[in-house]
Amino acid sequence: MKFVKWQWLTTSLMALAVAMPMHASAQEELNVYSARKAQLIAPLLEDFSKQTGIQVNLITSKADALLKRLESEGRRSPADVLITTDAGRLHRAKEAGVLQASISPELLKKVPASLQDKDGLWLGLTTRARVIVYAKDRVNPQDLSTYESLTDSKWKNKICIRSSGNIYNQSLVASMISHKGEEATAEWAKGLVANMARKPKGGDRDQVMAVAAGQCDLAVVNTYYLGQMLNGSDEAQQEAANQVAVFWPNQKDRGTHINVSGIAITKSAKNIESANKLIEFMLSKPAQEWYAKTNNEYPVMDGVEPSDTLKSWGEFHSDHLNLSKLGELNPQAVKIMDRANWR
Amino acid sequence: MTKSPKFWLLSTLLLAFVLTIPIWVLASFVFQFGNDNWQHLLDTLLPEYIINSLVLMFGVAFGTLLLGVPAAWLISHYQFTGSRWLHWALLLPLAMPAYISAYTYTGLLEFEGPVQSALREVFGFGVSQWFPEVRSLGGAVLLFSLVLYPYVYLLSRSAFGSSSQKALEVSRTLGAGPVKSFFQVALPMARPAIIAGVTLALMETLADFGAVQHFGVDTFTTGIYRTWSGLDDTNTAMQLSLVLLSFVGILILVERWSRQQQRYYVGDVKTDASDYVQLTGKKNVFAFAVCFLPILLGFLVPSGQLLYWSLTTAETNLNSDFFELTWNSFSLALITAVATVAVAVFLAYAKRMSNLSRVKQFVQVAHLGYAVPGTVLAIAIIIPLAWFDKTVDDFFYENYEISTGLILSGTLFALVFAYMVRFLSVALQSVESGLARIKPSMDDSARTLGASSWTIMGRIHLPLMHTSLITALILVFVEVLKELPTTLILRPFNFDTLSIKAYEMAADERLADAGLPALLIVLTSLIPVIILSKLMDKRSG
């Protein structure tokens, strides 16, 4: 009988102990909600803490979940800063009313206008391009031109691309809607599906592997995955990446589709000064170079050298579409892909 | 201090209410009308979501029965090569999260993977034309069957082991052969336990997101996520979740119905070595194969791949961070397991003691949480917790000008609560089946001798059902350790677990780097699985 009572007591004590909120010290702090995975943000945050003495607390999760959390927590949210890996989600955060316009004007000036919100609620930190890669031995790059031309019948059963559930594809289709309209995009999506070599599956690296293995000739992938494959420790991936080359689509017209990882200050933020210090730090040369090197992403700042891998792919002309559009058009993009049977 | 029915009624009502808050939050979305997304879904993907989910369920039901029941039967009645260690090794796949097993199998068997590449080297390109596609509905059925059959095995083994022994002896004495005895006596008697096991496996299948997404199989769960994230439509997503829950409601009803058809109370029957039939020759080989195959494919192959990945990346990855991750995962799982089983015991008791149908219904509802996809559950928990925090904060601010901020949201409490909602069903299945085997006449005798309810519970029931309790503890522990979406969404600042680490690496398409945290999940889960089997050994040994 005693045993039972003790069991209940310890259980309730344990429940109490875990219910205690983490206590904050008096030190200057900054709370970060990040959709960028820990391995791609934590090292920089540590450097930032060392430099400034500001203690950074981090939660990483999916962007949608962080947004939902921000919305529900409202003005009581502990978050000061939101970091995402695509502009669409930052736009959603703006629409949901969980951001405030507190990024300092000097910082906004540093970043190209197309890579930030028009009301200054968020800005891009790094960019990446969604490009066409082709099998060097089987494809003549002169046969390639635009995303649109991927529907050409000569590419029948030759294209690999990941599923429509992926945000990168959703953004690409959203950019297409913005430039070409819904109807033309719907036609394009159908044409692309008709040319797919296999049912969409796997991630971007899987598409490159499939091209190297001969299952398809072309793949649509983000540049940094290719960069990571080239610089990673996995020999099979390195070998596969060496068998493909990058083609920059739409160089003669609107430019290659890009997206950003970006940052915003939340409405509930209590440490606005520290938040601005973090943004300044993320735009600094060392941080920008770190992303170029570690994740093969392009710096948003002029005058920062991209990594050797990035340089080897050459210069390119990027789509100057305001990235807020990607967020606005995301639901339409998904519907178009659904109707086109893009899995 | 015998409690009145009213005590049980009120306390169960309160507890059941708190535990089902997320379900009520979900239900409230029924009334949110809005846009044409339902029409869009009906026109495009919904039929496929439904068909895929149904095929997956039937396939997994069949697969887990096929893998779990024969193995349980062989282990509880025969002796053959390796039967001693196969007996506990059959539980090993419990430690393998479905999504991680999915990563390893695609890594191995895909077009670009080592198996197909090697086959192509030897037999030419044609091999890949007929090689079955791993990332398919069929692949998903196999995968789930391999990681979920231990539920069926565990529950049917205990049913075969204890309750059917005497009846079988009678049946054999009356001249029925082993096959006939199995189908006409043992199987019907074990049916409630077997169906309980299948139900758990199916609930888990329906709630899974990671593995089906990785396999490119569109199910209800991936549809819910796509609607929420891609279409930016929480309402429709939550309504879809309710449809999913109604599937599960039916599942639970079937399970209950099956259980009510029969009620056996059998005391603990000790089996001794002479009860086992020694197998030889071909039969021996066959029995070994039947029991070893699920372990090989459900545990050894994926673990081998994880180990290989871990070794290739150990140099860069193995550092002190992993101790913290392991400790976080372990302590969180332990706290949750203890708390959840305590609540399960209470609810199971309320059902037994009160004998009120209302109480039974309340407890029934508490099972639903297991089938809510983790992402949906997390949202359905954020909403009420944030509301609670807001209300408290407003109250203190208005009256005392103190802002209490967030009290529950974003704390470990929110996380433990979410796990409890999700995994209570697992604990209840085990505790209830343990309790059900104790004859009510025993309670009556004890009461006649003047024992109170608490005494009966502490002195008679808990000792008698300690195996069930430990089973429940371990199942919840392992579930929490493997869990991903809820942890990802609800965890507090600076609190990462092994499954988060594995996910972040895998989501970044760094499967090899995901190997080490995944392997550590498996190793940490092994500790309780081995304890469980030792305890079971003692019991039947």
Reading the block at residue A322, the tokens are 């305001």
CA distance B277 to B392: 65
Scan for tokens 């009860």, then name that residue. B275
A12 to chain B nearest CA, in Å? Answer: 8
Categorize the per-residue pLDDT at B129 as very low, low, confident or very high, splitting at 50, 70 and 90: confident
Q: Name the packing angle between helices B466-482 and B412-436 (round to 10°).
A: 150
Q: What pLDDT is recorded for position B166?
A: 66
Categorize the per-residue pLDDT at B219 as very low, low, confident or very high, splitting at 50, 70 and 90: very high
CA distance A278 to A281: 5
Restricting to A residues 60-99, those with a Cβ less than 8 Å away from any Cβ of B are 60-62, 64-65, 68-69, 72-74, 76-78, 92
Between A169 and B449, name the one with better pLDDT. Answer: A169
pLDDT per residue as tens digits for the range A238-297:
999 999 999 999 999 999 999 999 999 999 999 999 999 999 999 999 999 999 988 899
Residue of B229, B387, B480 to mutate, interface with A, max A Cβ within 10 Å: B229
CA distance A127 to B70: 56
Beta bridge partners, A258, equal A129
pLDDT per residue as tens digits for the range B37-83:
888 888 888 999 999 999 999 999 999 999 999 999 999 888 999 98
A99 secondary structure, DSSP code: B
How many residues in chain B? 541
**Burial grade of B187 (CB within 10 A; 0-12, 13-18, 19 or more):** middle
Residue B287 confidence (pLDDT) above 50: yes
Is residue A238 within 8 angstroms of chain B, CB to CB? no
Q: What pLDDT is recorded for position A12?
A: 52
Q: Percent of chain A, pLDDT > 90?
A: 78
Burial B97-116 (b: 16+ CB within 10 A, else e): bbbbbbbbbbbbbbbbbeeb
Scan for tokens 């002195």, then name that residue. B459
CA distance A334 to B275: 62
| Residues from chain B contacting residue A20 (CB–CB below 8 Å) | 411
Residue A3 confidence (pLDDT) above 60: no
Q: How far is CA B534 from CA A117, B471, B539, in A?
A: 61, 11, 9
Interval A190-216 mean pLDDT? 92
pLDDT per residue as tens digits for the range A146-177:
999 999 999 999 999 999 988 999 999 999 99
CA distance B27 to B50: 20
CA distance B450 to B453: 10
Categorize the per-residue pLDDT at B5 as very low, low, confident or very high, splitting at 50, 70 and 90: low
Interval B233-259 mean pLDDT? 85
Residue A14 confidence (pLDDT) above 90: no
Beta bridge partners, A124, equal A262
Q: How far is CA B491 from CA A65, A337, B2, in A?
A: 11, 33, 41
pLDDT per residue as tens digits for the range B344-378:
998 888 877 766 677 777 777 888 888 888 889 99
Reading the block at residue B521, the tokens are 């999940």
Q: Which residues contact B365 (CB under 8 A, 6 or more apart)?
A: B16, B20, B23
Categorize the per-residue pLDDT at B526 as very low, low, confident or very high, splitting at 50, 70 and 90: confident
Q: Pick the range with the lowest mean pLDDT from A89-103, B112-126, B501-515.
A: B112-126
Interface contact flag, A18 B234, Cβ < 8 Å? no
Q: Which of B192, B219, B200, B202 is nearest to B472 (CA)?
A: B200
Interface contact flag, B413 A74, Cβ < 8 Å? no
Residue B395 confidence (pLDDT) above 90: no
Interface contact flag, A78 B493, Cβ < 8 Å? yes
8 Å CB contact between A289 and A305 = yes
Q: What pLDDT is recorded for position A35?
A: 95
CA distance A70 to B323: 30
| H-assigned helices in chain A | 2-19, 42-52, 63-73, 87-95, 105-110, 167-180, 182-195, 204-213, 223-231, 235-242, 272-282, 285-295, 308-312, 324-339
- HSE (side-chain half, CA atoms, 13 Å) at A63: 22
8 Å CB contact between B128 and B116 = yes
How many residues in chain A? 343
Q: Is B509 left (phi over 0), alpha (psi -120 to 50) or beta?
A: left
Q: How far is CA A32 from CA A253, B223, B263, B382, B453, in A?
A: 39, 30, 55, 18, 51
Q: What pLDDT is recorded for position A25?
A: 43
Q: Name the packing angle between helices B498-507 and B98-109 (round to 10°).
A: 40
Q: What pLDDT is recorded for position A1?
A: 39
Interface contact flag, A339 B44, Cβ < 8 Å? yes
pLDDT per residue as tens digits for the range B70-120:
999 999 888 999 988 898 899 999 889 999 999 999 888 887 778 888 888
Residue A51 confidence (pLDDT) above 50: yes
Q: What pLDDT is recorded for position B437?
A: 74
Scan for tokens 């025969």, then name that residue. B78
Q: What pLDDT is recorded for position B357?
A: 72
Q: What pLDDT is recorded for position B537?
A: 64
CA distance B462 to B471: 13
Q: Percent of chain B, pLDDT > 70?
A: 93
Residue A74 confidence (pLDDT) above 90: no
Q: What pTM did the predictor assign?
A: 0.88
Q: What pLDDT is recorded for position A23?
A: 42
Between B325 and A13, name the one with better pLDDT. Answer: B325
**Burial grade of B364 (CB within 10 A; 0-12, 13-18, 19 or more):** middle
Q: What pLDDT is recorded for position A2?
A: 43
Residue B163 confidence (pLDDT) above 60: no
Q: Pick the range with the lowest mean pLDDT from A299-313, B57-71, B437-451.
A: B437-451
CA distance B249 to B236: 20
ipTM: 0.85
Between B331 and B84, name the one with better pLDDT. Answer: B331
Mean pLDDT of chain B: 85
Q: What pLDDT is recorded for position B438?
A: 79
Burial B492-512 (b: 16+ CB within 10 A, else e): bbebbbbbbbbbbbbebbbbb
8 Å CB contact between B497 and A61 = no
Q: Roughly how many angstroms between the first and final C-alpha of chain A, as a whole number? A: 59
Q: Which residue of B has its CA nearest to A215?
A: B111
Q: Which residue of A has its CA nearest to B383?
A: A72
Residue A15 confidence (pLDDT) above 60: no
Q: How far is CA B216 from CA A64, A163, B112, B137, B409, in A?
A: 21, 8, 17, 8, 33
Interval A95-112 mean pLDDT? 94
Q: What pLDDT is recorded for position B139?
A: 95
Is residue A19 within 8 angstroms of chain B, CB to CB? yes
Residue A26 confidence (pLDDT) above 50: no
Q: Which residue of A has its CA nearest to B374?
A: A65
Residue A21 confidence (pLDDT) above 70: no
**Burial grade of A142 (CB within 10 A; 0-12, 13-18, 19 or more):** exposed
Q: Roughly how many angstroms between the first and final C-alpha of chain B, as a whole number? A: 38
Interval A291-311 mean pLDDT? 88
Q: Pick the range with the lowest mean pLDDT from A327-341, B129-143, B148-162.
A: B148-162
Interval B205-229 mean pLDDT? 90
Residue of B112, B331, B466 to mutate, interface with A, max A Cβ within 10 Å: B112
B519: part of which helix (H) or strand (E)?
Answer: helix B511-540
User: SS3 for B113?
Assistant: coil
pLDDT per residue as tens digits for the range B176-187:
777 777 777 777
Residue A20 confidence (pLDDT) above 50: no
Residue of A31, A61, A215 to mutate, interface with B, max B Cβ within 10 Å: A61
Residue B470 confidence (pLDDT) above 60: yes
CB atoms within 10 A of CB B288: 17
8 Å CB contact between B220 and B163 = no
